[in-house]
Amino acid sequence: MRPFFVFATVMLILAGVVPRFYTNAGPVPAIAPSAAAVAVNPVSVKRRAVMIRQGGSGNFQLEALVDGRRMTFLVDTGATGVALRQGDAALIGIHPADRDFSTRSITANGIVRVAPVVLDRVEVGQIVVHDVLAVVFPDKALTQNLLGMSFLSRVRWQQENGRLVLEQ
């Protein structure tokens, strides 16, 4: 009986030590995930990505669906949040009253009063972000909608070689 315990002890020690020698031995064959694993955590299996080419002016422009309506945006990593022109906000049912323009925004053209809002859903390709903080600018204070950090900080993004890649 004693030889059995000695053998079992040696095998346990080897089971803990031997794998360390094989960590750099070469590629490990991929193991297909089981159907149960895929069903439990599908987010880790599939990522959504969108690639935007840089425009002639060096900026990145894109079309997005905001609460189901198509809008054009300039990607602006320097903008704290998403900024909508008042006319475009009206297209998605956002009609701030004069008293709602309660927050000040510092822009290249000076200080402007803006109306803070929350967008239910912003979609860029297959990427979807819910409850996005935004501000509504008077049309005369903003020439185009800006996709700022309140959206961008909730996705992975990288700019390289004239492309902007968004990933979720």
Mean pLDDT to the nearest integer, 136-146: 96
∠ CA 65-141-136, nearest 5°, is 40
Mean pLDDT to the nearest integer, 69-85: 96
The confidence score (pLDDT) of residue 108 equals: 82
Q: Look up the pTM and report it.
A: 0.70
Residues 66 and 147 in one domain: yes
Tally the domains of the chain: 2
User: Distance from CA of residue 79 to its chain's centroid?
Assistant: 16
Residue 68, domain extent: 47-167
Confidence of residue 125 (pLDDT cuts 50, 70, 90): very high
Check: CB of residue 144 under 8 Å from CB of residue 72.
Answer: yes
The confidence score (pLDDT) of residue 40 equals: 40
Residues 36 and 52 in one domain: no
β-strand 61-66 against 69-75: which pairing, if any? antiparallel
Residues 35 and 56 in one domain: no
Strand, helix or coil for residue 48: coil
What is the residue-averaged pLDDT of the chain? 81
